[in-house]
């Protein structure tokens, strides 16, 4: 029974160590800013790090 727990724990650690694909990070085609103008679209981009990519 302990072997099953060890295998499951290793599987979970490997699963958590792989990068997630939930939010694709792409390059910004607009400009980076902390806040975007009212009519602009905010996206997350790899280039902008913690700021928004304003389009």
So what's the pLDDT on residue 6? Answer: 86
51 lies in a domain?
A: yes
5 lies in a domain?
A: no
So what's the pLDDT on residue 23? Answer: 53
Q: 53 pairs with which residues across the strands?
A: 32, 43
**Which element (helix H / strand E) includes 30?**
none
7 lies in a domain?
A: no
Q: Which domain holds residue 54?
A: 25-55
pTM of full prediction above 0.85: no
Between CA 29 and CA 33 the distance in angstroms is: 13
19 lies in a domain?
A: no
Q: Which residues contact 10 (CB under 8 A, 6 or more apart)?
A: none
So what's the pLDDT on residue 26? Answer: 75
Residue-level pLDDT, tens digit, the chain, 55 residues: 889 888 888 877 777 775 555 555 678 888 999 999 999 999 888 888 889 999 9
38 lies in a domain?
A: yes
How far from chain centre, in Å, is Cα 27?
13
């Amino acid at each position: 029974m302990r072997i099953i727990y060890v295998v499951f724990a290793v599987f979970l650690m490997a699963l958590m160590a792989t990068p997630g694909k939930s939010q694709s990070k792409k390059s910004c085609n607009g400009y980076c800013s902390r806040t975007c103008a009212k009519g602009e679209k905010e996206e997350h981009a790899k280039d902008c790090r913690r700021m928004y990519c304003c389009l």
